[in-house]
Structure 1
């Protein structure tokens, strides 16, 4: 008897198992689903009182945010019935995953080719947008498509989401798609699609153009979410999308890439869109946008509805809630910045409900609340926002009654120290002097604990307010070793190797340094060590910008270093920034640069092949602007190593930045460029070259002679 034909392989087995499970699912009778019954009012009150009593028995300081709020309870019940939009089948998942890989590889010839590819992906995704947005593997593709879409495509994808936003903003993956959609639809909200473009798009695509404009779609989102603001305020995935929506409605810039952004956390995955040929890289908008007139009253209504259902106790509890705190920051920012500081006088405003007493007198409710936020890791961020945007009178009362006498001790604390930074940014010249007197005694302790951000910001504010930094320079000098060689190494957390860099033999190992990587056997640094080095480098760079004792403290340490240590500093990623700053800063005199630049002669090829050292070599071009003989010697050294430089990507960049082709072929033209003498061309025919010192002296002598001749000439009589 012949055997039945069977397909072999893992795919056939997987397909057979899938068909079998599907058949069993279809044949199985529908099981009764236990529906959650809504408790009666009396039962709900008893349950809330019982939970409230139990919570306070275990922890009297804990106040749940979701008790006593009918709107929040209803929102939680609605969120439990999350709709299921379906799953992508195996072929669809494979196609969209491959499309995502192609967008990441970015092997398109130009922007038009990529646009055609995006159109084809949109055509394939038609009707599956909600599935893709909720898919763990394909939601990133949806974010990239939205980021690359034009206004017409944004309207279409927005129209597919309308009616589902209440569930999408609470979804783990779809919430990020909603956030990206709001950000990229915001600049196009005032644009109107032309009839010719709409007609052309209708001819090319079978799908009809959506009737609503982007502004009307944003209003539809507000209408859809208006009954759930209180619940979404503290919802894990919806809160970041709500923050974006508030900023978009206000026309404020939304930058999720900044470390100080209150829109997204630092753990958020950044999806970068690579650019192609013929396309300019888009920068995050940093200016306010024009928005439709309907947005402002809608924004006021949202901000009122969010906090109107909460009493003052629960609203203050939001200040230390890890999810509700960022939303509260956005509310305070919009209230004090966007709507004007006069809105803070409204007794129903958020700021007035948080701090009802504007005088911030000792032992008042406002002062106690502020002191509770100072040392809280979450609450201190809200206090930073308050300090930054409070009206001037309220800030002065807050500072003088609660913070001025304690600013030195606050700077020692790892949490309250960030509030001190915001305080220093707002202080005037006289108050800044007093604050510096309180902080200077704590500088030694701050240096020992590697908390260098407060001294750095203090230096920057003293420069901005023209405050004498001599006491701070003396405190920094006493905090480090008196030996200038060890002082700089302590500042930068740098330990030089015993052998000179040219003899260590590590800089050319397998081309690691040339490609910007560390040598294969280099010891790995921890994140804490990297952070300490970075903060030390930033502090030294800030010191170099201040003329006087602060910058001299660094220059004397730099000039005391041996040449091989200078070369090692130039090859280290963080400390090389200090070397560049020392070479190009306005506080660096010709004598200092003449002594410092000679340390690099004989090591230029070694530095040019290093990812950090090549930037130092580029800085040497401007550092030797008035030391031409040093620049000429360095160019001669680079020309002697032409083959090694041309074989390296970093070396070719140095060769180009130093205009070495001109040096070899047209030495006179290179000399004029090195000295800053611009050559006359047809484009700058009217420009005059700068006069030399002898020419200026001749001009002064000629002017004086003409003046004296005019005085001695007798007056004519008619």
Structure 2
């Protein structure tokens, strides 16, 4: 009888032991999950010592182990329940309707928002923690009035410690703080006090928004050290700090320290904004806040960093989640509480850089030099350079940056610190910095690191420094042939790809989720970034009178008509043409030669998304050469039917006042020469005032002046 096949060796034994242990585990009764014990100072095995409760910086496991506060861990996160299928479908449709914004007016939209709130009554926490419906909650908050915000704020009270740590609810808390901030100074109306009506429906809380914010602070008390580096709570804490300080909170900016560049922009910029006009009117400056906010803010900042020793505080500078919060703390310390607070030995700035001299070999100099080339740490150096006291900045520049500013400008990470440094330099120091950067210009042009030259040009204009040496350096870096020079500036017709680490691009926020090195995603992004930075540099050069603008003007005149049409239809290069036509540095002689190149192509350009803007710019560029403008208007009039069939063409037709050109040529001529009033908002041209109307206005003004004099005489008597 054949024997049964059996596996031999160590692998078979290991497999058998694994199966046995698995079987025992399955057969064993389930034990209740023990609550995670909070570490104490009695054990000697704690590798982080007494500061473990505040800043775990190593692995995620250690972060969960050494957490601050009793309920800060995600293992204690309560479960608020799930929406059923019908509720999820309703809120999903409501989100789509708010996204489409197909409402007749603001009142109709307000009624719809209120109906959604009524449907969500009692389910607010479920919606906030829902992956799909949390976006609806953010949209609702952005479209809510003060009473609705207070009502929702009251529903969240008592749960903020858990909500700010939730992956989806944290964004709802952030949006709630932002849109509640403008109304913190309003008093609670008695008519909206907390009460129950006949149906038992609960209305607003009797707490004011200021009191609600203080309640949030009390709920988070004792957990600041943990929330400082918590994955989802950190961005909400940043918003809360700025709201308490009365600082503007801009989550739409790509360079904001509040939110990462990958954060979903839901188009909700202003609190209580019901339409685009209201959003534009929304205050963006510093707000007034209650007096109780300042001591509360100071206590929070002290609680966040008081339990962290200096070594751990410096470690936060390179920690992706903690670094943005540290930037906010440093910004508030230096700007909100005054730069004199930096003299305090316990201040954040002095703890980070205790030696204000920044001399070679000091602890401060070593710390700063270690951060200059770090993608995360360099952000903190930017904040220091921007807000630190003048005396400290001068020492930092003199001993750490000045002699190395040329090599720092070559690096795509340290180059951003150079930008902030150039913004604070005086005339003499800026002149010396330009001389040190000039030898690096050919390398910067070759590697497409153009943001440093562009900023240097802007600062030289502000400080009234001669840019001729810099123009000569740029001329030597590009080809001597003006026709080829423009193609090199705008990176036209080049398919070469530079390694990702060698390309300059906009900074990304240092959140743990979205933190990446400063590099574009792929080859197409590289090419687009090159064209964008080349276009921005050329536009900056066109704003400076003298050799810098002449480099671009001469290159534009050297191009043939086909190349100019290609440039006009490129989104990035068309901006250069518009700047050349509108720049104060352009002369009448240049514009007379340049605008004639577009004749015969206006109708074609007017139908293109980028070219139409160039045609619009030709209107202002020909204000002192009327005969050229008239020829262009005749060309547009010949293509009237084509332009009227195009959306972009109709916009050009309106901007050139072509209806006036066809019907009242004299009034059009006055407008073309800039002799009449500006057009009204609806695009209709106002008729010029007659002599009788002008005389009536003079008579009315004279009578008003006599009445004022008579009233003044009677009051004296």
TM-score relative to the length of structure 1: 0.83
Choose the corresponding residue for 1:653, options 636, 641, 651.
Answer: 651
Query: How do 1:532-571 and structure 2 match up within 5 A?
Result: 532-571=530-569
Choose the corresponding residue for 1:103, options 85, 98, 106.
Answer: 98
Give the C-alpha shift of residue 402 in structure 1: 1.0
Corresponding position of 2:575: 577
Choose the corresponding residue for 1:209, options 196, 204, 212.
Answer: 204
Choose the corresponding residue for 1:526, options 515, 521, 524.
Answer: 524
Choose the corresponding residue for 2:238, options 240, 243, 249.
Answer: 243
Q: Does 1:83 align with 2:78?
A: yes
Q: Is the 8 A contact 1:63 1:317 kept in 2?
A: no
Corresponding position of 1:45: 44
Corresponding position of 1:451: 449
Corresponding position of 1:609: 607
Choose the corresponding residue for 1:681, options 677, 689, 703.
Answer: 689
Give the C-alpha shift of residue 258 in structure 1: 0.8
Give the C-alpha shift of residue 677 in structure 1: 1.2
SS of the residue corresponding to residue 287 of structure 1 reads: coil
SS of the residue corresponding to residue 72 of structure 1 reads: coil
> Against the structure 1 CA distance between its residues 629 and 119, is the aligned structure 2 distance closer, same or farther, given a 3 Å change threshold?
same
Corresponding position of 2:110: 115
Please list the CA deviations of residues 66-118 of structure 1 after superposition, one character each: whole Å capped at 9, or x if unmatched: 97999835457643211000000000000000000111111100000000000
Taking the aligned partners of 1:621 and 1:489, their CA distance within structure 2 comes to: 26
Corresponding position of 1:260: 255
Q: Does 1:351 align with 2:349?
A: yes
> Against the structure 1 CA distance between its residues 592 and 682, is the aligned structure 2 distance closer, same or farther, given a 3 Å change threshold?
same
SS of the residue corresponding to residue 47 of structure 2 reads: helix
Identify the range of structure 1 (72-81 vs 663-672) with the bigger mean alpha-carbon deviation. 72-81
Q: Does 1:189 align with 2:195?
A: no
Q: Does 1:149 align with 2:157?
A: no
Taking the aligned partners of 1:281 and 1:44, their CA distance within structure 2 comes to: 56
Taking the aligned partners of 1:142 and 1:431, their CA distance within structure 2 comes to: 51
Taking the aligned partners of 1:558 and 1:669, their CA distance within structure 2 comes to: 34
Corresponding position of 1:136: 131
Please list the CA deviations of residues 666-693 of structure 1 after superposition, one character each: whole Å capped at 9, or x if unmatched: 11111111111126438995599xxxxx
Please list the CA deviations of residues 246-271 of structure 1 after superposition, one character each: whole Å capped at 9, or x if unmatched: 00000000001112111001111111
Corresponding position of 1:11: none
Q: Is the 8 A contact 1:380 1:415 kept in 2?
A: yes
Q: Is the 8 A contact 2:137 2:172 kept in 1?
A: yes
Corresponding position of 1:271: 266
Choose the corresponding residue for 1:367, options 359, 365, 368.
Answer: 365
Please list the CA deviations of residues 416-466 of structure 1 after superposition, one character each: whole Å capped at 9, or x if unmatched: 000000000000000000000000000000000000000000000000000
Give the C-alpha shift of residue 199 in structure 1: 10
SS of the residue corresponding to residue 252 of structure 1 reads: coil
Q: Does 1:591 align with 2:589?
A: yes
Whose RCO is larger (CA < 8 A, sep 6+)? Answer: 2
Q: Is the 8 A contact 2:194 2:203 kept in 1?
A: no
Taking the aligned partners of 1:69 and 1:84, their CA distance within structure 2 comes to: 19
Give the C-alpha shift of residue 400 in structure 1: 0.4
> Against the structure 1 CA distance between its residues 429 and 315, is the aligned structure 2 distance closer, same or farther, given a 3 Å change threshold?
same
Please list the CA deviations of residues 445-489 of structure 1 after superposition, one character each: whole Å capped at 9, or x if unmatched: 000000000000000000000001011101100111111001001
Please list the CA deviations of residues 342-401 of structure 1 after superposition, one character each: whole Å capped at 9, or x if unmatched: 110111111110011111111111111010110100000000000000100000000001
Corresponding position of 1:697: none
The alignment of Structure 1 onto Structure 2 pairs a total of residues equal to 625
Give the C-alpha shift of residue 494 in structure 1: 1.4
Q: Is the 8 A contact 1:108 1:276 kept in 2?
A: no
Corresponding position of 1:232: 227
User: What is the root-mean-square deviation of aligned Cα atoms in Å?
Assistant: 2.8
Taking the aligned partners of 1:683 and 1:417, their CA distance within structure 2 comes to: 62
Give the C-alpha shift of residue 528 in structure 1: 1.1
Taking the aligned partners of 1:645 and 1:200, their CA distance within structure 2 comes to: 62
Q: Is the 8 A contact 1:48 1:68 kept in 2?
A: no
Q: Is the 8 A contact 1:65 1:314 kept in 2?
A: no
Q: Is the 8 A contact 2:64 2:73 kept in 1?
A: no
Taking the aligned partners of 1:379 and 1:283, their CA distance within structure 2 comes to: 36
Taking the aligned partners of 1:652 and 1:628, their CA distance within structure 2 comes to: 23
Corresponding position of 1:701: none
Give the C-alpha shift of residue 627 in structure 1: 0.5
SS of the residue corresponding to residue 284 of structure 2 reads: coil
> Against the structure 1 CA distance between its residues 372 and 687, is the aligned structure 2 distance closer, same or farther, given a 3 Å change threshold?
farther
Unpaired runs of at least 5, structure 2: 1-28, 52-56, 496-521, 677-686, 697-717
SS of the residue corresponding to residue 280 of structure 1 reads: helix
Unpaired runs of at least 5, structure 1: 1-29, 53-61, 498-523, 689-718
Corresponding position of 1:621: 619
Give the C-alpha shift of residue 567 in structure 1: 1.1
Taking the aligned partners of 1:69 and 1:607, their CA distance within structure 2 comes to: 61
> Against the structure 1 CA distance between its residues 568 and 271, is the aligned structure 2 distance closer, same or farther, given a 3 Å change threshold?
same
Q: Is the 8 A contact 1:133 1:177 kept in 2?
A: yes
SS of the residue corresponding to residue 104 of structure 1 reads: helix
Taking the aligned partners of 2:293 and 2:265, their CA distance within structure 1 comes to: 28
Give the C-alpha shift of residue 34 in structure 1: 1.9
Give the C-alpha shift of residue 192 in structure 1: 2.2
Give the C-alpha shift of residue 242 in structure 1: 0.1
Corresponding position of 2:513: none
Taking the aligned partners of 2:229 and 2:196, their CA distance within structure 1 comes to: 41
Identify the range of structure 1 (62-71 vs 630-639) with the bigger mean alpha-carbon deviation. 62-71
Corresponding position of 1:391: 389
Corresponding position of 2:424: 426
SS of the residue corresponding to residue 281 of structure 1 reads: helix
Taking the aligned partners of 2:695 and 2:432, their CA distance within structure 1 comes to: 51
Q: Does 1:639 align with 2:637?
A: yes
Q: Does 1:34 align with 2:33?
A: yes
Q: Is the 8 A contact 2:460 2:466 kept in 1?
A: yes
> Against the structure 1 CA distance between its residues 249 and 613, is the aligned structure 2 distance closer, same or farther, given a 3 Å change threshold?
same
Taking the aligned partners of 1:205 and 1:569, their CA distance within structure 2 comes to: 67
TM-score relative to the length of structure 2: 0.83
Q: Is the 8 A contact 1:168 1:174 kept in 2?
A: yes
Give the C-alpha shift of residue 38 in structure 1: 2.1
> Against the structure 1 CA distance between its residues 394 and 483, is the aligned structure 2 distance closer, same or farther, given a 3 Å change threshold?
same
Q: Is the 8 A contact 1:69 1:309 kept in 2?
A: no
Give the C-alpha shift of residue 204 in structure 1: 11
> Against the structure 1 CA distance between its residues 393 and 601, is the aligned structure 2 distance closer, same or farther, given a 3 Å change threshold?
same
